[in-house]
Structure 1
Amino acid sequence: MTYAIIGFGKIGQALARAFARSGIDVSVATTRDPESFASAAAAIGPGVTPKTLAEAVKADIIFLAVRFQSHPDVAKALPSWQGKIIVDVTNAYGVPPEQLGGRPSSEVVAQAFTGARLVKGFNHLVAAVLDQDPAVNGGRRVVFLASDDDGAADEIGALAENLGFAPIKLGGLSEGGLLVLARGNSWGRLVFKDLVKFD
């Protein structure tokens, strides 16, 4: 299984550090030349490889860590996303609900990535919290996952565990997904909640 993070701002870098901590190789990409962020990637760890967007989208599992407004540009990188899992880390905070046609933002993202299996996840924590070691006082930091594809949610749940997090599945995008959704000037009840699970 191969992994990529599209977007290398604070959230993208926090995710890259989670992969590096766990010793799992990951590609990172933006719409810019990889040379422009190669030193930042190298500083995180040897398993974090800067790539072009065209190279990064060859991965099996892709974390979408760009601004919500930029997701259509990333979606154009492939004619079909069949066989891939997209982890939607975006938030549509500030985007009017009318612009989304009243739908959850992840449904809008899913429509753009034709053929992909989409999981909403890792978006409810601010970058500074996501950046921390998920092992907290003998427990593990919670990440919420929502998807209309149970198999994809299970795969990302297993990956989250490998990254040291405690995944909690919330159900479909239009049900549990609304709990971790930010759009317009409001956010779901679980957004910004930093929870720790003790096994």
Structure 2
Amino acid sequence: MKIGMLGAGEVALSVARHAVELGHEVLLSNHSGPEKLADALRTLGPKASAVTVVEAASAPVVLLATPWKTIEAVLKGLPDWNGRILIDATNPFLETIPKLVLADLGDQSASEIVAALAPGARVVKAFNNIVMTNFNAGAERENARRVLFVSGDDTEAKQLIADFITAMGFKTIDLGGLKIGGRMQQAGGPLAGHDFLISQ
């Protein structure tokens, strides 16, 4: 599978590392241009390459992992999605320093807003409930497996991403659609930030 990464921060690089370990091809992009990704490419190896944002967004599966305040600019002017999968790993933080400040989204989930900015994309919410320190520590902990949640309105797309996560060794739980399930796992939701475990 070819996976484009919109963003090259901790979340994108963590998912990219797991993806290349499974043999997937990863296309990294950031707002500064491919030349700024040399260190990441050395770490990830030959399955990863640095490309433009448009090239990354043209992959069959795309991970959105950019700061919340940039998502409109990042998603504007991209190629038509035409049913390609967009994994929304964003959290609606207006600020992270000196403290976390969440955007007021009204009755919408963050992923519903992402979906509106990427018409034609099959949006799946994932990688939000777990902090990256735990994600990078691996799927197993104390004879149990860590849990990642998925949400989405397209059953086929959601299953493909669930299978991708399961192949990493994690347990997946389907929370349903973007409106309710997305809000449950995004920052500020009841499932966000916890290290959930299921006994093996």
Output the TM-score relative to the length of structure 1: 0.89
Superposed displacement of residue 194, structure 1? 0.8
Deviation at 1:50, TM superposition (A): 1.5
Cα pair distance change 1:77/1:160, threshold 3 Å: farther
Report the CA distance between 1:79 and its aligned residue.
Answer: 4.3
- The equivalent residue for 1:96 is 103
Residues 1:136 and 2:137 aligned together = no
**1:69 corresponding residue in structure 2:** 69
Residue 137 and residue 110 in structure 1: after superposition, are their counterparts in 2 closer, same or farther (change >3 A)? same
Is 2:55 the partner of 1:55? yes
Distance 2:46 2:140 in 1: 22
**Is the CA contact (8 Å cut-off) linking 2:89 and 2:125 kept in structure 1?**
yes
Whole-Å separation in 2 of the counterparts to 1:177 and 1:57: 22
| Letter aligned with residue 15 of structure 2 | L
The equivalent of 2:97 in structure 1 is: none
Letter in 1 for 2:199: F
C-alpha displacement at 1:112, in angstroms?
0.1
Q: Describe the SS at the equivalent of 1:175.
A: helix
1:1-199 correspondence runs (5 A):
1-93=1-93, 94-97=101-104, 100-182=105-187, 187-199=188-200
Q: Secondary structure in 2 aligned to 1:28? A: strand
Q: Does structure 2 retain, via aligned residues, the 8 Å contact 1:5–1:12?
A: yes
Unaligned runs of 5+ in 2: 94-100
Alpha-carbon separation, structure 2, partners of 1:160 and 1:40: 21
Question: Counterparts of 2:106 and 2:190 in 1: how far apart (Å)?
Answer: 21
CA contact (8 A) 1:57 1:77 kept: no
Instruction: Compare 109-118 and 147-156 and name the one that shifted more.
Output: 147-156
> What amino acid is the match of 1:90?
T
Cα pair 1:81 1:113 within 8 Å, conserved = yes
Preserved CA contact (<8 Å) 1:81 1:115: yes
How far the C-alpha of 1:37 sits from its partner, in A, is 1.2
Q: Structure 1: 5+ residue runs without aligned partners? A: none
Sequence identity (%): 33
For 2:153, give the aligned amino acid. D
Backbone CA RMSD of aligned residues: 1.7
DSSP-derived class of the 1:174 partner: helix
SS of aligned partner of 2:178: coil
Shift of 1:165: 1.8
Distance (Å, rounded) in 2 between the aligned partners of 1:90 and 1:121: 9
> Residues 139 and 46 of structure 1: is their aligned pair in 2 closer, same or farther, counting only changes over 3 Å?
farther
Deviation by residue 1:38-77 (Cα, 9 ceiling, x = unmatched)? 2222213321222111211121111101111111122124
Residues 137/22 of structure 1: CA separation in 2 closer, same or farther (3 Å cut):
farther
2:98 maps to none
Distance 1:132 1:14 in 2: 10
Shift, 1:20, TM fit = 2.8
What is the letter of the counterpart of residue 87 of structure 1? I
